[in-house]
Structure 1
Amino acid sequence: MLKLYGTYWWAFVARGILAVLFGIAALLLPGITLHVLALLFAAFLIVDGIFSLATSVWGKSLDQRWWLLLLEGLMGIGIGAVALAWPGLTVLAIILFIGFWALFTGMLELTAAFSLRGETAAQWLLGLSGIISILFSLILFSSPEAGVVVMAWLIGLYAILFGMVLIVLGFRLRRHNLIFSVNL
């Protein structure tokens, strides 16, 4: 799995940059309607899902656990497509969609982190990303009726934190890929 992640380290960095940009937009524009926020989040989910999906398909021959990224990508694309098709969903529905995506993503990232145990010292970053996602989902599930501005800030902070962890993870994986390539 380390070879798969190391080869496509840049996909983690790209996902992280997209998440940070989305988070900044949510923080700077908290007064935007939930409709616009839903469309932005849907676009982010679809692009993030495409990166995960492509990484899994390209790396299928590198690791037997490639399907974790495939599931994450399909889930992101699916939820993003639903959010694009019905942007007028209620605040509660959008918040629950985001919560389920964060919960599912967190569980898959924790699973991947545990499967990397012993392969790299950077697996804790993937685990941390999973824990952050799960905690974020629990916050959303416990208080879905919170105001749009507060929710935009929560989503923005989550996206920035999640993105920063993915960027650091991507560069750590790049370092492992360089070491792996030299050792061949």
Structure 2
Amino acid sequence: MLQYYAKLWWVIALRGLLALMFGICAFFAPIATLAALIIIFGAFVAADGLMALLMAISGKQRESSDRWILALQGLLGLGVGALTWLSPTITALSLLIYIAAWTLATGVLQIVAAVRLRKEIPNEWWLILTGLVSIAFAFLVLWRPLAGALAVLWLIGSWAIVCGILLLGVALRLRSVRPATATQPAQPA
């Protein structure tokens, strides 16, 4: 396996470089990065919808009653893809609202868990504090959606930069490994 990875060190380096570039763009060109993410999402959803629709139309079992599910999935994917391209702002805002709702629900559940655990563990206030921070974050994201989107994008960018640097390190390490066939002399026949 090592030899396989060593031969393809440059692919890992390319992945690392692309991740690093994406992360840097997230900090220095956040609007363009967000737009690119939304366009890629729209393309993926539309392609997925088209494939589902094609599967429903060209199914070998024409009498199958379950093809309507695939057709509905396909139409939904095409619709969401079109909506994403026609109104990328709605897509970004929807994703942000989804993140805020998830964070709010998580915060409330953490507080409920802390209250229920108060007799079983000491310092349950740490979990309560975690819940309160999550709830505060959700309200801040909903109150200032542009700042919330920027914060989420910077978090993704930070992750991409760290992963990109680590992948470049792995690639350089793999580059120094010589394939076994190149370092061993040929065996006489």
TM band (smaller chain): 0.3 to 0.5
**TM-score scaled to structure 2, two decimals?**
0.41
User: Larger Rg: 1 or 2?
Assistant: 2
Q: What's the TM-score, normalizing by structure 1?
A: 0.42
